[in-house]
Amino acid sequence: MTVRVLLVDDESLARSRLKTLLGDCRQPAAQVLGEAANAVQAIEFLQHHDVDAVLADIHMPGADGLMLAQALRQLPHPPAVVFVTAYAQHAVQAFDLEALDYLTKPVRLERLQAALQKIARTLQQAQETATDVAEDVLLIQERGRAERVPLAQVLYLKAELKYITVRTASHSYILEASLAELETRYASRFIRIHRNALVARRAVRALEKHHDPEEGDGWAVRLDGVAESLFVSRRQLAAVRALVSAV
């Protein structure tokens, strides 16, 4: 893998030294696609070129590196930001802006290589996520292993504290994700039945009266493949009725 980089520093000598160091990097290697002396030039360059990472100084005339990082977050596909500066006191602000790394000058080759490795891992994770969405699978990572679970096997998704229980006919998995995001991404496959639960549209077989210890008397859906019933909130009841009627 080769990481595509934009260098942003108002000192040409600093850019030149960093470019030389990047030329010595391996695993991954780096390709400098452009240079900018300030934030305005950087934004103009990024309007016409795609890069994987921006290596930026913080103290620059006009808009500084922190302001540049803030502007980059508004892009549809923002590049990773690594600050390269002589001042260490801005590290907290930098990471608040989701900077991937923070290097202090003079930059050592080993430290720069480590930053590139972070960028490469981030790119790989983004690529895997995009592949998972395209292939309609959920990537489950738990106990030091990763498993791709086809959405066609998932019967329901239920929020439990900060995790999502992913239930198939034979297994339960734990996924660290947002239920709202999953609902938006897979709206054609799942229907919300409660503030904490989505169920597979294809798996819904019946809507039955049900008593829940926390919710009281109400309704629940019965799904193919699992014995348990899932409570339906009053807000979602009409939509679930319509789905069952159409089955």
Confidence of residue 73 (pLDDT cuts 50, 70, 90): confident
Residue 144 is predicted with a pLDDT of: 73
**CB contact at 8 A, 54 and 8:** yes
- Percentage of the chain lying above the pLDDT 70 cut: 96
Instruction: Give the residue-averaged pLDDT of 31-44.
Output: 96
> What is 2-133's CATH superfamily?
Response regulator (3.40.50.2300)
Residue 95 is predicted with a pLDDT of: 72
Residue 171 is predicted with a pLDDT of: 94
pLDDT one-digit tens code per residue, 181-199: 899 889 999 999 999 999 9
pTM above 0.85, yes or no: no
**Predicted confidence (pLDDT) at residue 247 exceeds the cutoff of 90:** no
**In this structure, which CATH number among 2.40.50.1020, 2.60.40.10, 2.102.10.10, 3.90.70.10 belongs to the domain 138-246?**
2.40.50.1020
The boundaries of every CATH 3.40.50.2300 domain in the chain are 2-133
Residue 134 is predicted with a pLDDT of: 54
Which residues are paired to 150 by β-bridges?
Answer: 137
What angle separates helix 65-72 from helix 39-46, to the nearest 10 degrees?
Answer: 20
**CB contact at 8 A, 212 and 218:** yes
**Predicted confidence (pLDDT) at residue 133 exceeds the cutoff of 80:** no
| Cα–Cα distance, 51 to 43 (Å, whole number) | 12
Could you give the C-alpha distances from 201 to 70, 120, 157, 221, 239, in angstroms and in order?
40, 38, 12, 11, 11
Of the candidates 107, 81, 59, 63, which has an alpha carbon nearest to the alpha carbon of residue 6? Answer: 81
| Cα–Cα distance, 1 to 27 (Å, whole number) | 7
The boundaries of every CATH 2.40.50.1020 domain in the chain are 138-246
Instruction: Give the residue-averaged pLDDT of 7-22.
Output: 96
Residue 135 is predicted with a pLDDT of: 61
DSSP 58: S
